[in-house]
Each structure stands twice: as structure tokens, then as C-alpha cells.
Amino acid sequence: MTEGRIARRFQALRAEGRAGLVTFITAGDPDAGTCQALLNGLPGAGADLIELGLPFTDPMADGPAIQASSLRALHAGASTKRTLELVRNFRRGDADTPIILMGYYNPIYSYGVDRFLADAVEAGVDGLIIVDLPPEEDEELCLPALKAGVNFIRLATPTTDDKRLPAVMANTSGFVYYVSIAGITGTASAASSDIGAAVARLKRHTDLPVAVGFGIKTAEQAASVARLADAAVVGSAIVTRIADSLDAAGKPKAGLVEDVLGFVAGLAQGVRAARG
């Protein structure tokens, strides 16, 4: 695979001597127009990489906040095709910020793997995080993705032992996403000492950058992770912020985009100050 946006972004972060901020929102949440405005505004608010959730009816690894965001998006008409359209529109104004699609295999399988990868590359997608495809299933999507020039980013968890890690790392590219707690997203936070030890262990198995997520809700927590890892990932806290700015009918209140981007800016400030 040729070097892409993800590798270039982490090289730039290393040159700046800091960790990155990876932000997650669900494609089409709470509606296509609001989501597009959020997506387009994230880099300016300080997001270094963006994870865009592929809406799915049964997001089993996600906690209540992200599950709800997926259902809101689907209710508003989100689809895999429309997710790629969001990326395509984003690329008209931003050629550099990496976008990673995160989700489950079913929507991609239904779309058709070859067609999906061709359309994803054309739209400007840089990577995939597919949480329900283990290394034993690499021929399904991972290897075709790598062949198409799309990074396949793997999750490692506190229960991924040294015996398992080589298999997890075998075809991983872009970065490794360390899930700092066992369980579903958005529920708890890990201790810094545990994160530091886990990042060091992963670094013994890979030269790839390590991004750490799950449970980061504040600028202070983002900063503490940024001192230990190559990037801090924030998802549920941003998605919750979106939900908190909806009215009783689930429609966005005035100022939603500005409020959410302001929250992201605070997280980015924490990450940037971590090694200052």
C-alpha cells in the first residue's frame, strides 16, 4: 500500500511533538445536513483524524449513546451510500484530514465489498474499523481493502494477550486503536497507569501509532491520554453532546453545530497542551 493521509497525519503530529485528537460522529446523525456541517467543521475545531460511524441497526459493541445516534441517523434516512456522499462533500473542502469509517460488516457486505471499496476510495475514505471482523476473516474485507489502498485499523483491548497480538497486528495498517476498557463504548474510563502499560506493550508488537479511546469525556482526560499515546479518541461524549442539543421531537436546536464544535475545540486544546 502506498502511504496515505493517515500516515502523513501521524508523521506531521510527530514533527509537532504532540498527540492527535481523533473524533467520532455517526454519519447522518441527527440528519444529513447537520451531520455534514459537523463533519466539515471538525478539522477547524481541532480534530486531527475523523471516525465516521456507519449507521447500523444492531451496533452490539457500542453503548447507549452511539446506539441511539445510529438509530437517529437511520430514522433520518442514513445509508451506506449517503455516508459516502458525506465524505465526498467533505473532500471538496478538505483534501488532508483522514476519514475512517467505523462500524460493522453487515452494511458493507450488503452493499457489496468490491463496489463498496471502489466507491469508498472514490469518495475519499482513508481507513476502516470494522469491529465484528476478527483476523481469521481477513479475506472477507481486510485484504481487499489493503489492496484497494484503504487502511484496515484493528482494535486491541485489555484482554488481547501477547499470544493473540501478532494475529491482531498481522494486516493492521494506519494505526492501532486501543480500547482502554473491556465492555461497550461510553461507559467507563481507564486509569492512566493501565493505559501507559498497555501502550508500551502494544509498541513492543508494532511500529504503528497507537490511539486510545473509550471513556474520554473531558479535556483533562483527553490530555492524560495524549501524554501516553499517539492519539486520544473521543466518541460517546461528542455523540452525547449532539443528543443533548435536540428538541423533544429529535430535531436540532439552534446552535447545535457551534456547541458541539466548541466542545471538540476544548478537547483539542487539552490534547495540544498535554505535552506543552
Cell of 86: 458525506
Active site residue 62: yes
Residue 238: pLDDT band with limits 50, 70, 90: very high
Q: Which residues does residue 246 pair with via DSSP β-bridges, in sequence order? A: 252
- 16, 31, 48, 62: the catalytic one is 62
Rounded to the nearest integer, the mean pLDDT of the chain is 93
> Cis omega before residue 43 (within 30°)?
no
Q: Using one digit for the tens of pLDDT, what is the confidence trace for 149-207?
A: 999 999 998 888 889 999 999 999 999 999 887 554 544 555 777 889 999 999 999 99
Contact 215, 189 (CB under 8 A): yes
pTM of the model: 0.95
Q: State the average pLDDT over residues 32-57.
A: 97
Q: Is-catalytic flag, 132?
A: no
C-alpha cell at 238: 461528542
One-letter amino acid for residue 146 of the chain: L
Q: Which residue among 48, 51, 126, 138 is the active-site one?
A: 51
pLDDT in the model for residue 70: 95
Question: What pLDDT is attached to residue 2?
Answer: 61
The C-alpha atoms of residue 147 and residue 150 are separated, in whole angstroms, by 7
Residue 97 is classified by DSSP as S
Q: For residue 214, which of 62, 19, 10, 20 has the smallest C-alpha distance?
A: 62
**pLDDT attached to residue 82:** 98
Long-range contacts of 147-151 (CB under 8 A, 24+ apart): 148/117, 148/118, 148/120, 148/121, 149/1, 149/2, 149/4, 149/121, 150/117, 150/120, 150/121, 150/125, 150/126, 151/1, 151/4, 151/6, 151/100, 151/126, 151/127, 151/175
Residue 67 C-alpha from the chain's centroid:
15
Say if domain 5-271 classifies as CATH 3.40.50.300: no
Burial class (CB in 10 A: 0-12, 13-18, 19+), 273: middle
pLDDT value for 165: 93
Domain boundaries, the chain: 5-271
